[in-house]
Amino acid sequence: MYRVGVIGCRGIGIRHAAGIAELADPERAQVVAACDLAPDLLVEFQKHFAGKWPQIATYTSHREMLEKENLDILTVATSDHAHTALVVDAAAAGVKGIFCEKPLATTVEDAAAMVAACEAHGVVLSVDHTRHWMPIWHRAHELVEAGEIGDVQSIVGALRGERAMLYRNGTHCLDAICWFSGGRPIWVMGDLEPGFEDYSEYAGDGGHDPTTEPAANAYIKFDNGVTAFYGGGSKTTPGPKFSIEVIGTTGCLVIADNESATLIRDEVAETITAPAWPIEGIEAGMHELVQILETGGTPASTGRDGQAVVEVISGILASQQQGHAPIHIPTER
């Protein structure tokens, strides 16, 4: 049985633990420990899962938890800028798998350190870009991979609404762009929303207050020739919260967040459907991690995938500071 620890016990951390609780075979894994800086959240976490795991140990120090609990799996659901030490320390402590919230980190250096630590210690690192575990997104990606729109030429991603924050939710849209591109980003040009012209590094509050993070627009080039346009603001823009249009040589595919997908070929539009999954989203990501530890494999959303998104986000900030110039992104990993 895998021993699981959760760091960050608000709503998303509860969903991480719920993914373990919903395993059909409870002998595969159990949550044995939780860590948070707020003692009241630890009490609520214990209460939430008391019927399933009445003996969850609680900690306010992640290092103490790692030292005492002999964990196999760690989940990280803290504020965006606080992930790095947790993941690096867990990898060194001997955990086998880590499920980390997005964005992986808030700087290029931190993301690289996290990926390097996990690879050095043989740790499976999965990043919660949730659409990898949503049926309609999975089906849409299958169609693109199968050549249903020919070769991908360009992608248009749009993020709207008051929470179109670059780090908090822009990371989801940028990840989807990278995923459907089939390549690696090699340079980016960016433009931040008015009022954030001097925003050169992450200064958010963990994704709670939209005024602490900019929305942004960007143009991205990939190593396979695909180009992408990211329209991420401003935060006052109405409309569907999240959409992606993938344009190929023989057609295009439009996905409107988790609601619908449309395949367009020869001026004929076809609604795409996907069979329901018994479990999806964050919880499915947790199931996948347990399965990988049992039988091998690679996460649908890897640490290196998360690292690429952090590089794009950081490139957008740097481009703003350099007169919207192209910022080259490392391609050797």
Q: Which domains does the chain have, with CATH numbers?
A: 2-130+280-302 (3.40.50.720), 132-278+310-328 (3.30.360.10)
Q: How far apart are CA 298 and CA 288, in angstroms?
A: 9
pLDDT at 243: 93
Enter the tokens of residue 242.
Answer: 């999240």
Helix axes 303-321, 108-120, angle to 10 degrees: 160
Question: Cβ(179)–Cβ(305) under 8 Å?
Answer: yes
The answer to whether 31 touches 20, Cβ cutoff 8 Å, is: yes
The answer to whether the CB of 4 falls within 8 A of the CB of 75 is: yes
Strand order, beta sheet including 268-272: 268-272, 260-265, 252-256, 242-248, 152-159, 227-232, 216-222, 185-192, 327-328
Q: What percent of the chain has pLDDT over 90?
A: 91
- Looking at per-residue pLDDT, the higher value among 39 and 236 belongs to 39
Q: How confident is the model at residue 241 (pLDDT cuts 50, 70, 90)?
A: confident
Q: What's the burial of 269, exposed, middle or buried (CB within 10 Å: 0-12/13-18/19+)?
A: exposed
Residue 239: CB atoms within 10 A of its CB come to 11
Does the pTM surpass 0.75? The reply is yes
Beta pairing class for 152-159 and 242-248? antiparallel
Spatial distance between the Cα atoms of 209 and 250, rounded to a whole number of angstroms: 42
Q: What is the pLDDT of residues 242-264, one digit of tens each?
A: 899 999 999 999 999 877 899 99
Helical axes 303-321 vs 170-181, angle rounded to 10°: 110
Is the per-residue pLDDT at 45 higher than 60? yes
In angstroms, the CA 19 to CA 97 distance is 14
pLDDT, tens digit, for every residue of 302-316?
Answer: 999 999 999 999 999
